[in-house]
Chain A
Amino acid sequence: MLVEHARNVLGMADAAHAESMTDGDLIITPLSCSLDGRTIDVDLVGGTLLSSLHGGVKTVTEFTTCNYGLDPARRDIASSGGMRTSGVDGSGEPRAVERDDHPFFVATLYQPQLRSSPSAPHPVWSGFLSSSR
């Protein structure tokens, strides 16, 4: 979703994901430490949709399977052109983003579906479906 943003909103026509492409401007690169199969603590940014979905909680622990993420040197891509960073890891790298010009546009570098149960649906999915009605 950040590649689409970079290409079509920011006008970076050759923005690319290093997992699927070898040329172009590789903005999504292998994480220095793979997150695959791990849990991560995500600090939520106050005032964001994601933060409000979680009821103002400061930090959430999430499961992830991701090996790639935004190049830390390109962090600005996640906070420009209507995109804003809504969750960061311990070193301040974006782990969740959303659009401030859209009713519900949420992207995560973790899988909220892995911590959902019938008795405790994950707020991201509940919020998504609420906004889809």
Chain B
Amino acid sequence: MRVLLVIDLPPAARYHRATVEALGHAAAALGAPLDLRVVASDAADLGEVRDGVEGVVIGPGSPYRREAAVWDVVRTARERGTPLVGT
């Protein structure tokens, strides 16, 4: 399944790592391959939310570099019924 993770924390940061790892634990338990795309808020692409992903995660680490982009991603997932988790 294709999942978009919006997060500004760098990949080595504890909460970034924990988020990726937790998704991996869940995917492994489900026996489902996880295609995780990670983007920073200032690089988030709404087109991808509309057409490319089956789930969206808003990662920890506010304030976001581009908060309005995060709102746009949330709105798109909300309106389209795309599964979404924000932590």
Contacts and interface: CB of A to CB of B under 8 A. Distances in A.
B67 A122 contact: no
B84 A116 contact: no
A99 interface: yes
Interface of B: 1, 3, 15, 18-19, 21-23, 25-30, 32, 34, 54-55, 57-58, 60, 62-64, 67, 70-71, 74-75, 77-78, 81, 83-87
A99 B87 contact: no
Interface in A66-95: 68
Interface of A: 1, 3-4, 7-8, 17, 19-20, 65, 68, 99, 102-108, 110-114, 116-118, 120-122, 124-126, 128-133
A3 B71 contact: yes
Contacts of A124: 85
Contacts of B78: 4, 99, 102, 105
Contact of A8 (B26, B55, B75, B77): B75
Contacts of B58: 1, 107
Contact of A17 (B62, B77, B81): B62
